Amino acid sequence: MGLLGGSYSTYAYTGGNPLSRTDPLGLTWGDDWYMFWDWAFGNAPPDTVYGPDTNQTADMMQSPGVAAAINYFNQKNAGKCPSQWAPVKDYAYKFGLTGLWKAGLNSTQQFVGSYGVNIYPNADGTLNVDVYNTTSMTSFLYGIYPNRFNPPNGWPMGNASQRYEGVVSDTAATASCGCQSGSH
């Protein structure tokens, strides 16, 4: 990227605004490279939370599993006003080789692999989306390594949990609610 990518700006990947730290194309390879090696050498913290303004959360909010969970949320809450929306908890997305293909060059989605999604509605029609996973030998080897043999956190390739907290607008459920304006 930057000058080697043919751009005159070393911040082109952030839309020219490095202070926003927005990486719309999932080009967080540097950050994710360090996440991987911290995990591989046993230096990853046991629990990491990525807030709504981080590149990793932005990447995960664009993932196929989050899109599927939001679609399920929309179906579950069709025709209801936001004050009546029910949350979605523990929506599971299995990564596997198909997930690897769907993730493409998105390094965060590749690192995360399989994950769960919780969606909690807000009165204003937005959704708090919480993506969670545990990086382990089992996830690294696409589920073929038995969970019972995963090393604990602090060991090389030991379990390390991540959470990605985002807020998204849910126009599909809001548009189908049938509520009059202002009564959402």
User: Is the model's pLDDT at 79 over the cut of 50?
Assistant: yes
User: Is the model's pLDDT at 111 over the cut of 70?
Assistant: yes
Q: CA–CA separation, 119 vs 89, rounded Å?
A: 6
Helix, coil or strand: residue 177: coil
> What DSSP state is assigned to residue 7?
-
Averaged pLDDT for residues 130-137? 95
- pLDDT for res 103: 85
Q: Is pLDDT larger for residue 9 or for residue 154?
A: 154
- pLDDT for res 125: 87
pTM value is 0.79
Question: Which of 12-16, 68-72, 114-118, 165-169 comes out lowest in average pLDDT?
Answer: 12-16
Q: CA–CA separation, 154 vs 160, rounded Å?
A: 9
Averaged pLDDT for residues 151-161? 95
Orientation of helix 64-76 relative to helix 96-103, angle to 10°: 100
